[in-house]
A and B are shown apart, each in its own frame.
Chain A
Amino acid sequence: DTGVSQDPRHKITKRGQNVTFRCDPISEHNRLYWYRQTLGQGPEFLTYFQNEAQLEKSRLLSDRFSAERPKGSFSTLEIQRTEQGDSAMYLCASSPTWTEAGNTEAFFGQGTRLTVV
């Protein structure tokens, strides 16, 4: 299976701890996105990369959040000093460069569910 892979699937952490999530996109996709989804809501955009460049960050991405994609392949999302409000599903998605051929959709991983206790 060559879909988007996220690790870990589940993470329970104590408030104040740092956590890091990993996303491996589909190999030929140069765009990578992070979303956050809380219970009963749709995914909210956090940030997006074109290759290794982080091109856009949502205001939802506070100073405690940082994302990297150092070699334009996998990406990591780190949350420092976690708070209970950070509890959510963190979704990663990837897509090829936009083309008029219709390759417009993002392909999603299964997410990392974070619980902060």
Chain B
Amino acid sequence: AQSVTQLGSHVSVSEGALVLLRCNYSSSVPPYLFWYVQYPNQGLQLLLKYTSAATLVKGINGFEAEFKKSETSFHLTKPSAHMSDAAEYFCAVSVNTGGFKTIFGAGTRLFVKA
């Protein structure tokens, strides 16, 4: 079975500071990994995805994530936070085993201070 653990339910950074949101996964088969962002009362928007190609994945809005198999991690980073980055971020995992569903972490709420 697959699972995702997001470390830290809340992260607060100053505008212009580095953003680091942590995600660890568990999967018995090679996983596909995703980061989604959710703004209040909205659905989820894909930020980036790892699909077994390059381990460093670049996404929208300046975000990137690095797949580290040895650490079973897929942390999300952004060099410089903007006020507009304040939102809920979800790490997710899925595998292609005939059936298909995406398993989400509990989420990390990012606060950006002026």
Nearest A residue to B91 by beta-carbon distance?
Answer: A42
Q: Assess whether B82 is interfacial by the CB under 8 Å rule.
A: no
Contact A41 B102 (CB under 8 A): no
Counting chain A CB atoms within 10 Å of each CB, the highest count among B41, B100, B103, B106 belongs to: B100
Q: Assess whether A29 is interfacial by the CB under 8 Å rule.
A: no
Chain A contact residues, CB within 8 Å of chain B: 4, 31, 33, 35, 40-45, 48, 55-56, 91, 93, 95, 98, 102, 104-111, 113
Counting chain B CB atoms within 10 Å of each CB, the highest count among A42, A104, A113 belongs to: A42
Contact B51 A102 (CB under 8 A): yes
Among the listed A48, A91, A110, A111, which residue makes an inter-chain contact with B101, where contact means beta carbons less than 8 Å apart?
Answer: A48
Nearest B residue to A97 by beta-carbon distance?
Answer: B100
User: Between A and B, how many residue pairs show CB distances below 8 Å?
Assistant: 62
Q: Taking the nearest CB of chain A, how far is it from the CB of B15, in angstroms?
A: 25
Chain B contact residues, CB within 8 Å of chain A: 4, 9, 32, 34, 36, 41-46, 49, 51, 53, 90, 92, 94, 96, 99-107
Contact A40 B43 (CB under 8 A): no
Q: Taking the nearest CB of chain B, how far is it from the CB of A106, in angstroms?
A: 6
**Which residues does chain A contribute within 8 Å of B45, judged by CB atoms?**
108
Among the listed A56, A105, A110, which residue makes an inter-chain contact with B46, where contact means beta carbons less than 8 Å apart?
Answer: A105
Among the listed A31, A40, A42, which residue makes an inter-chain contact with B104, where contact means beta carbons less than 8 Å apart?
Answer: A42
**Which residues does chain A contribute within 8 Å of B36, judged by CB atoms?**
108
**Which residues does chain B contribute within 8 Å of A41, judged by CB atoms?**
106-107
Nearest B residue to A107 by beta-carbon distance?
Answer: B46
Contact A104 B32 (CB under 8 A): yes
Q: Using A33-B101, A48-B99, A105-B49 as known contacts, say yes or no to A91 and B107 having CB atoms under 8 A apart.
A: no
Nearest B residue to A47 by beta-carbon distance?
Answer: B101
**Which residues does chain B contribute within 8 Å of A56, judged by CB atoms?**
99, 101
